[in-house]
Chains A and B, each alone.
Chain A
Amino acid sequence: MAKVLIIGGGGAGLVSALSAHEAGAEVIVVSKTLPTRSQTSMAQGGMNAVLGGNDSIESHIADTLRSSAGLGDEKQITVMCENAPDAVRWCNSMGLPFSRDESGEIARRRLGGASAPRACYAQDYTGLKLLHTLYDQCLKAKITFHNERFLLNLIVDEESNRVLGATFLDIATGEVEEIRADSVILATGGYGGIYGKHSTNSVQATGDGLAAAIRAGAKLADLEFIQFHPTALKNSSILISESARGAGGYLLNANKERFTDELAPRDVVARAIHEEMTKSGAVYLDIRHLGEEFITHELPQERKLAQIYEGIDPVHELIPIKPSAHYSMGGIEVDAQCMSSVSGLFAVGECANHKTHGANRLGGNSLLELVVFGRHCGKNAAEFGAQNPVPALENTQLAKDTNFVRGVMYFTNQIDFYQKQEMLANIFYNNVGLVREDMGLKAVLGAIRQMQKELPFMGPKDKSKICNTNLVEFIEFGNKIELAEIIVVCAISRSESRGAHYRGDIPARNDVMFGAHTITWREGGVLCADFME
C-alpha cells in the first residue's frame, strides 16, 4: 500500500486525501492548523459548473480562457470545465448544502467575467460549507491527521531528484520531526499574506509550501500574477464577495456616480477602482437597493463584517472599499498529472499552477479547480507511490532543520521582524500591486535583499519551546521574504501588461516576447528565471 503524505488541510488537501484514500493509499494529512480553519473557509462566491439551461461547457471554457489573457492552457481548462458538473455532483453526494432555486435545482449566480450564471453556491458560505463537508467525510474515512505542524522543508534525495518526505515543527511541543512517504502532495495555499493588511487572505497564507518547494529544487511558475479583489473593506481588507455585484450592486466614486462595468473581470474592475481612488479619493460599494431581505438572506456575512469593521450597515449606507490582494495565480509548476519537477512531489490548489487561471482567475473557478484537480492529484499520487515505493535513503534534512530551530533562538534580535513584515506589506501593496513600474519594483527588490541580509539580526523574541507562535511567525516571514524576491524578479522581467500584472510604464501586452510562463528555480542557491512555453 502506498503511503501518501499530504501537506495542507484546506479544500485541496482534503479532496486529495479522500481521493488518495479511495485509490487505496494510506493517507496522512499534516496541517499548520485545524483543517476547518484553513483559507478555504473564507471562499464565498461559489463553484462554477454548467448544469444545463442556456449555458454551455464551451462558454465556460471560452470565458476562462479569455480571462486568462493568453496564459491559460486550453487543455487544462477544458479538463476543469468538462469535469465541473461531476465535481458539483460529487460535492452534493457528500452532503454539501448547496442553495436551491425555485424549481429545486442547485441555484447558480453570475460572477464577474462569466457569460451566464454558473456559480453554484451555499449562501455566501460556499467555501466554509465545502471545507466542513470534506472534513466530515475525512473523519468518516478515518484519515490520519497531524494538526498544528508547521512545514519546514521537503526531504529530497539530490542525486535522484526524488522526494522522500518532509520535516515539520510540532508547534505545541516544539519538536522537529520527519515523515517519510512514497509520494508527497503540497496543498499549502497561496502567498497573499505577503501583502499583510492589504490582503483579504487569512494570516496563514504565507506561501510555506512554495518556499519549501523551490528550496527542494522544484520550479515555480508565474509568481508575478496576484489577483486583487476589487471589493475589500477599506480599513481591514476583509472580503466583500463578488456576489454582491453579481446580484446588482453598484460601484460609486466619491461623487456617488457609477464609473465602470461592475461585472467585468476582476483585474479590469480592480484597476478601474484604483484609478478612481487616485482621482476622487474614495470608492464605495452600494447594495442598498437590493433590500434588507435580500441582504440578510444572501449576504449575511457581508452585512455583519461591514458593521464590525467599518461601523456601517450596508442596508442603509455605502460600503467604503478598496482592492486587496486576494488570490495567487502563480504557483508550483506542475504537469497535467499535478506532479512538480521533483519526482514524487505533487502540488494542488492555490499553491500549484495548473495553468487554469493564467494571468487572471475568474470568480468561482478556484473552488472548482481544487475539487477537480484535488481528485485527480490524490489518485495520481497514490498510483505513483504504489508503482515507485520510496527508497529508504539516509538524509540530513531532519538534522539540519533540528539545528536550525535550535539555532534560530540565538539570532540577535537587534531588528524587529514584525516591523519589517509590515514594511514589506506596504511597499508590496504600493509597488507590486495593481499598477507596477520598473523603478518601484527595483526599489522593492533592493529592500527585500537588504531584509534577507538582516534576517540573522532578527529572530524570535519568545524563547519558549512550547507553542511558540512567535517562532512560527518568524519562519513564515522568512518564507515570505524568499517568495517576495521571486515575485519582484518575475514582475521586473515581464516588461509588458497582461491580466493582473499591469505595468504603468508599459501598458501594452506583448505576445511575441512574453506570451509564455515565467518559470523560476534555484541552481546552487542562485535564483534563475526564464520565459517558457
Chain B
Amino acid sequence: MEIKILRGEEAQSYNVELEGVTLLTVLNHIKTKIDSTLTYSHGCRSGVCGSCAVRVNGREQLMCEYKPNEGDTIEPIRNARVIRDLVVDSSSIARFNSLARAWTEGSREGKVSEDEMSSIQTQSDCILCSSCMSACPVYAVNPDFIGPFALTRVWRYVSDAREISSDAKIAAVQTNGIWDCTLCGECVPVCPQNIAPAQDIRMLRTKSGMMGYQDPNMASMFGGGLDFGSPVF
C-alpha cells in the first residue's frame, strides 16, 4: 500500500505492506523501520488522548481510529502552525479555552437527575484533538475566533445543572465567539466523539438572547447599512 505524507512543502510517498491496521500503526511502522525522521504526535492509541488528529484526503481523522487505503494523502490539521511534518502547535487549546472562560465558577452539591447529567455527557466527551478547529472555515477570516471546541466546552458548563453562575462565560463568548460562527456545521462530522459544536453554539446564542445579548451583525444591519426611504436633505 502506498500512502503520501505531507512534510513541509512536499509530500513524501511510503510503501508499506500492512493490511487492516490503523494509520497510526502504519506510521509507527514507518518511523521504526523505514524513516526515523517522520514526525507526528501520538499517545494512548485508543482515541482518548486527542494527540493524533491529522487530515486524510482533506478530512480530519484520528490516526488511531482510521484504517488507511491505497493512495491516501496525510496532512497536518489546519488552522495551527506546523512545527514539523504532522506536529502542530497546540497552544490555541489553552488560549481559546481561557478566553472563553470554559470552566465552572462553582458547582452545587446535592442530587442531580440522570437526565440532567446525561445532557452534558456528549459535550464532556471532548478530547481536545482540534479536529473541529481544523475543519472550521471561520479561521480564514478571523484567526481570533474562539472556535468550536472552546464553545462546546462553555455550553457544557453553562448547561450543567450544578453550575452556580454562567454570566462570565456568556459574556466572554460574545466577541470573537458565538456570533462569528456561520453555523455551517463543518465541525460536526469530523468530531471523533460525535459532538456537534454547531448545535452547542446555537444553544449558546439562544441562551445569550435570553440574557439580553444581541447578535451584533443583526444590530449593525438594522442600525446603519440599509437605509430605505429616509429623506436626504
Residues A100 and B124 in contact in the complex (CB < 8 Å), given A92-B109, A137-B103:
no
Give which listed residue, A104, A308, A469, contacts B114 with CB less than 8 A: A104
Among B37, B48, B84, which residue has its beta carbon within 8 angstroms of that of A41?
B48
Tell whether A331 is near chain B: CB-to-CB under 8 Å.
no
Contact with A along B180-208 (1 / 0, CB 8 A): 00000000000000000000000000000
Q: Are B120 and A97 in contact (CB under 8 A)?
A: yes
Chain B stretch 104-142: residues in CB contact (< 8 A) with chain A: 104, 106-107, 109, 111-114, 116-117, 120-121, 124-128
Bound form: Cα–Cα A466–B82 in Å: 11
B148 within 8 A of A: no
Report B122 CB to chain A, min CB distance, Å: 10
A36 close to B (CB within 8 Å):
yes
> Bound complex: CA of A309 vs CA of B160, how far in Å?
34
- A298 → chain B closest CB, angstroms: 11
- A437 to chain B minimum Cβ distance, whole angstroms, is 30
User: How many A-B Cβ pairs are below 8 Å?
Assistant: 155
Q: Which of A101, A102, A203, A304 makes the CB contact (< 8 A) with B43?
A: A203
Q: By the criterion CB–CB under 8 Å, are B103 and A136 in contact?
A: yes
Which of these binds chain A: B28-36, B211-219, B221-229? B28-36
Indicate with 1 or 0, residue by residue over A179-222, a CB within 8 angstroms of chain B CB atoms: 00000000000000000000000111000000000000000000
Q: How many residues of A contact B (CB 8 A)?
A: 58
B177 to chain A, nearest CB (A): 16
Complex alpha-carbon distance, A122 and B36, angstroms: 39
Q: Which of A140-180 contact B (CB under 8 A)?
A: 140, 145, 147, 172
Partner of A97, one of B46, B48, B160: B160
Is A95's CB within 8 Å of the partner chain B?
yes
Task: Give the chain B neighbours of A103 by CB distance below 8 A.
Answer: 111
CB distance from A121 to the nearest CB of B (A): 12
Minimum CB–CB distance from B32 to chain A (whole Å) comes to 4
Cα A296 to Cα B188 with chains together (Å):
20
Q: List 30 A-B contacts (CB under 8 A).
A: A34-B51, A34-B128, A36-B50, A37-B43, A38-B43, A41-B48, A92-B107, A95-B103, A95-B104, A95-B157, A95-B162, A97-B117, A100-B112, A100-B117, A101-B114, A104-B114, A136-B103, A136-B157, A139-B103, A147-B91, A172-B89, A238-B46, A301-B47, A304-B47, A304-B65, A418-B36, A467-B84, A469-B40, A470-B31, A470-B36
- A→B interface (CB under 8 Å): 33-34, 36-39, 41-42, 89, 92-95, 97-105, 122-123, 125, 128-129, 132, 136-137, 139-140, 145, 147, 172, 202-204, 236, 238-239, 301, 304-305, 308-309, 311, 418, 422, 460-462, 464, 466-470
